[in-house]
């Protein structure tokens, strides 16, 4: 029997690409910390969408809006109660207001998706586990696709959708820059025999919530670039190279990084 391959998580490799030091603290040192309020909203809305799409997959119709709202509310409230929400020093003084905002954002974005986007989606795969093996490489990468629709007639692969909650509308062309959607496309190309269309569905937390949908696809050359990025990330992890994020990266702040206050790379700016 051959040696078992090491399996890497794609979401963890994405984390590594943003900040190797944060990756080291979380996954090497096992120093797990909660994410910020925006992540709690995203988790809650994701739970609502997941349950709604699973219901539609079986029954052919969506859940009612009130049920979707309640799912998101209960998930967000549970995350907060379990203290799985990181707050900066400034945010801690506004705890009650932030909790109210998180719960309200979770409810309104879950309702928005249920009313406007869910009826248009024909789900085939939901939270689908995938594995990519590269010839000649002694490891593999795994992850989960949020949602893939059934293929249209004369197509082998259905559209892959990735839903995000956002504070502002993403710039045009953001769908074409998503490494996540490129990796999903690579898996679908290997598995289904065709490069799929991809969709970035952004639920935007403006005063009046709105949906921004951007669609695109990938080329073979872009899929090969994704493989190269994947290989480079794994090599860096295995070599123990944990480069910190650039100081001007938006995640390198007390508001977005739970390790910021203790990080040896940010001490001079605190």
The residue among 71, 89, 118 that closes a domain is: 118
Residue 225 maps to which CATH number? Answer: 3.90.320.10
Can you give the pTM of this predicted structure?
0.92
Residues belonging to the chain: 270
- Each residue's pLDDT, cut to its tens digit, for the chain (270 residues) gives 456 779 999 999 999 999 999 999 999 999 999 889 999 999 999 999 999 999 999 999 999 999 999 999 999 999 999 888 888 888 888 999 999 999 999 999 999 999 999 999 999 999 999 999 988 889 999 999 999 999 999 999 999 999 999 999 999 999 999 999 999 999 999 999 999 999 999 999 999 999 999 999 999 999 999 999 999 999 999 999 999 999 999 999 988 899 998 999 998 776
**Which residue in 180, 50, 185, 69 sits closest to 121, CA to CA?**
50
3-state secondary structure of 3: coil
Domain count for the chain, please give it: 2
Helices (runs of H) and strands (runs of E) counted in the chain: 9, 6
Strands 139-149 and 160-166: antiparallel
The two tokens of residue 183 are 């990796």
Q: Are residues 110 and 126 both part of a single domain?
A: no
Q: Are residues 154 and 108 both part of a single domain?
A: no
Strands 198-204 and 6-9: unpaired
Residue 29 falls inside a structural domain: no
């Amino acid at each position: 029997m051959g040696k078992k391959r090491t399996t890497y998580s794609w979401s963890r490799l994405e984390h590594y690409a943003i900040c190797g030091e944060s990756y080291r603290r979380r996954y090497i040192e096992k120093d797990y910390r909660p994410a910020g309020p925006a992540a709690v909203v995203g988790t809650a809305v994701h739970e609502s969408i997941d349950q709604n799409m699973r219901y539609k997959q079986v029954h052919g119709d969506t859940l009612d809006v009130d049920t979707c709202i309640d799912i998101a509310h209960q998930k967000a409230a549970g995350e907060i109660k379990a203290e799985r929400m990181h707050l900066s020093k400034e945010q801690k003084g506004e705890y009650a207001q932030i909790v109210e905002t998180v719960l309200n954002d979770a409810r309104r974005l879950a309702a928005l998706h249920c009313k406007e986007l869910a009826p248009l989606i024909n789900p085939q795969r939901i939270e689908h586990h995938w594995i990519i093996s590269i010839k000649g490489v002694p490891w593999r990468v795994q992850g989960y696709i949020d949602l893939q629709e059934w293929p249209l007639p004369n197509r082998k692969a259905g559209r892959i959708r990735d839903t995000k909650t956002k504070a502002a509308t993403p710039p045009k062309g953001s769908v074409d820059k998503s490494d996540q959607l490129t990796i999903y496309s690579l898996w679908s190309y290997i598995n289904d025999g065709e490069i799929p269309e991809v969709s970035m569905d952004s639920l935007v937390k403006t005063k009046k919530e709105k949906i921004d949908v951007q669609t695109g696809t990938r080329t073979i050359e872009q899929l090969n670039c994704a493989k190269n990025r994947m290989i480079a990330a794994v090599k860096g992890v295995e070599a123990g190279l944990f480069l910190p994020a650039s100081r001007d990266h938006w995640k390198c702040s007390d508001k977005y990084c739970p390790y910021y206050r203790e990080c040896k790379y940010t001490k001079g700016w605190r």
